[in-house]
């Protein structure tokens, strides 16, 4: 679980853009300033959520796909002001679509900062509407996101793992 969490944290950190306060309205549901010093900040948040909700590692792979799709469709800048709520919501949606267990928003709001039950429900709805409720992930997409997460070694360096399809890896860069 640690490697999956670390890989997802690396990819999220890699996606971050500089925060321009004028770009994002503070009234936006996904707005919440959460300063990031380094990738460890993101890792700590992700690991805390998965530890406290016992979600499966596959959920993290799906959440990376959902984050990328959401950012593409919403045109929301992914910054210190938005990463936290986008990530938490992606983890929630992923847990609900992947695991056979019944996850509810209440499980997540008990493990995250500054998101109450009402806001979590609003974020989930906004997220799903943005994705047009297309939350099923096919095997090929899952494989791409899986490889993106595990293309880092223990020192957080991007690696081309042995036997990797170089075409896929080039597409991932």
Query: For the domain that residue 47 is a member of, what is the CATH number?
Result: 1.10.472.10
Task: Determine what percent of the chain is predicted with pLDDT higher than 70.
Answer: 79
- CA torsion 92-97-98-103 (nearest 10°) is 50
Q: Indicate the pTM of the whole model.
A: 0.82
What gap in Å lies between CA 76 and CA 52, rounded to an integer?
A: 28
Given a contact cutoff of 8 angstroms between Cβ atoms, the answer to whether 123 and 115 are in contact is yes
More confident residue, 105 or 157: 105
Given a contact cutoff of 8 angstroms between Cβ atoms, the answer to whether 105 and 92 are in contact is yes
The total of other beta-carbon atoms located within 10 Å of residue 8's CB is 28
User: Of 75, 173, 73, which is closest to residue 133 (Cα–Cα)?
Assistant: 73
Q: Copy the structure tokens of residue 163.
A: 């036997």
Could you list the residue range(s) of the whole structural domain that residue 21 is in? 2-172
Given a contact cutoff of 8 angstroms between Cβ atoms, the answer to whether 50 and 5 are in contact is yes
pLDDT at 90 over 90: yes
Q: Copy the structure tokens of residue 49.
A: 């959520």
Q: How many domains is the chain built from?
A: 1
When pLDDT is averaged across residues 119-144 and rounded to a whole number, the result is 93
């Amino acid at each position: 679980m640690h490697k999956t969490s670390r890989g997802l944290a690396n990819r999220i950190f890699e996606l971050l853009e500089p925060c321009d306060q004028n770009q994002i309205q503070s009234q936006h549901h996904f707005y919440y300033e959460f300063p990031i010093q380094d990738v460890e900040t993101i890792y700590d948040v992700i690991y805390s959520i998965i530890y406290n909700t016992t979600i499966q590692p596959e959920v993290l792979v799906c959440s990376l796909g959902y984050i990328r799709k959401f950012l593409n469709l919403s045109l929301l800048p992914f910054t210190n002001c938005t990463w936290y709520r986008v990530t938490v919501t992606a983890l929630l949606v992923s847990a609900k679509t992947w695991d056979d267990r019944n996850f509810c928003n209440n499980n997540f709001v008990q493990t995250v900062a500054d998101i109450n039950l009402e806001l979590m429900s609003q974020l989930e709805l906004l997220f799903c509407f943005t994705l047009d409720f297309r939350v099923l992930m096919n095997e090929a997409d899952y494989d791409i996101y899986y490889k993106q997460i595990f293309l880092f070694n223990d020192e957080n360096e991007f690696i081309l793992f042995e036997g990797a399809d170089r075409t896929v890896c080039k597409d991932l860069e």
